[in-house]
Amino acid sequence: MKDNSLSRLGGTCSILVGVFYALGAIAYLLQPPELQAGADLAQFWPALAQNPTMNTLLHWAFALVAVFAIAAVAAISEVVRPANEGWVRWTSGLAYLGYAALAITHFRALAVYRTLAAAYVAGDASVQTGIGALGYLLFDLDPQGWLGFGGVGLWFLVVNLLALRIATWPRTLAYVGIIGAILYWLMVAGAVLEISLLVAIAAGVGLIVAPIWFIWTGLRLRRANS
């Protein structure tokens, strides 16, 4: 008898990934401008000390995205694995690395950001200079997104191209996934080339595409299992 537990778990986790992606996007948009991408660190830390709620919710949301995504990657990869086991195994490994780095980054931020913000506000000029010199990206394990966006994006591309080949799920869903892969690579390009507008556009559109793809895929996994 076939064990469908991976499909059940992966489908549920895929839906949760989409939900927490959406919650993270909402939390990001509700932050003060001083806490959003490209903000000056001299404004970032005082703003975080004064109003940490949305920033905390954002880090919780994306930490949980990463945790649940590991199960989703396993289940989704299994569906298309027969079409090309080599590519699926390799890229799913990259996706695991990317999501693991994302989880650690956001859990570290939850542990240290508010402490640093309080120290920045309470400290003298030398303390503020020291904290400012560190930069909040020091705590990011993957600051340019080579694993979290590049590796995950390659996995997105492979599983959706294979799904198109063997008609695993609707073509529209596969095209949404391919768009997601392109957006992930644009995030890397924007970070490497230091083009903040490119990062902002890719992140903004990606935070719409990713929830749609993960929730839709999760529902299909659950439906196929039932």
pLDDT in tens, 86-113: 999 999 999 999 999 999 999 999 998 8
Percent pLDDT > 90 in the chain is: 63
Task: Give the predicted TM-score (pTM) of the model.
Answer: 0.92
Kind plus residue range of the DSSP H or E element containing 121? helix 85-122
Taking 90 as the threshold, does the pLDDT of residue 68 lie above it? yes
Q: Which of 74, 35, 76 is nearest to 174 (CA)?
A: 76
Q: Are 180 and 214 in contact (CB under 8 A)?
A: no
Number of domains in the chain: 1
- Domain around 216: 5-225
Range 197-216 average pLDDT: 90
* pLDDT classification of 136: cutoffs 50, 70, 90: low
User: In sequence order, what E strands does the chain have?
Assistant: none
Taking 50 as the threshold, does the pLDDT of residue 1 lie above it? no
- How many other CB atoms are found less than 10 A from the CB of residue 98? 26
Half-sphere exposure of 121 (CA within 13 A, CB side): 14
Distances, alpha carbon 190 to alpha carbons 139, 142, 169, in Å? 19, 14, 31
Q: Are 132 and 181 in contact (CB under 8 A)?
A: no
Which has the minimum average pLDDT: 32-36, 57-61, 151-155?
A: 32-36
Q: What pLDDT was estimated at residue 154?
A: 97
Taking 70 as the threshold, does the pLDDT of residue 225 lie above it? no
Q: For all residues of the chain together, what is the average pLDDT?
A: 90
Taking 60 as the threshold, does the pLDDT of residue 2 lie above it? no
- Tell me how far apart the alpha carbons of residues 114 and 118 are, in angstroms, rounded to a whole number: 6
Taking 90 as the threshold, does the pLDDT of residue 183 lie above it? yes
Range 68-83 average pLDDT: 96
Characterise 38 by phi-psi region: left (phi > 0), alpha (psi -120 to 50), beta (else).
left
Taking 90 as the threshold, does the pLDDT of residue 130 lie above it? no
Matching residue, tokens 């890719």:
202
- Tell me how far apart the alpha carbons of residues 102 and 84 are, in angstroms, rounded to a whole number: 27
Q: Which of 143, 147, 20 is nearest to 95 (CA)?
A: 147
Q: Which of 89, 95, 104, 86 is nearest to 143 (CA)?
A: 104
* pLDDT classification of 221: cutoffs 50, 70, 90: very high
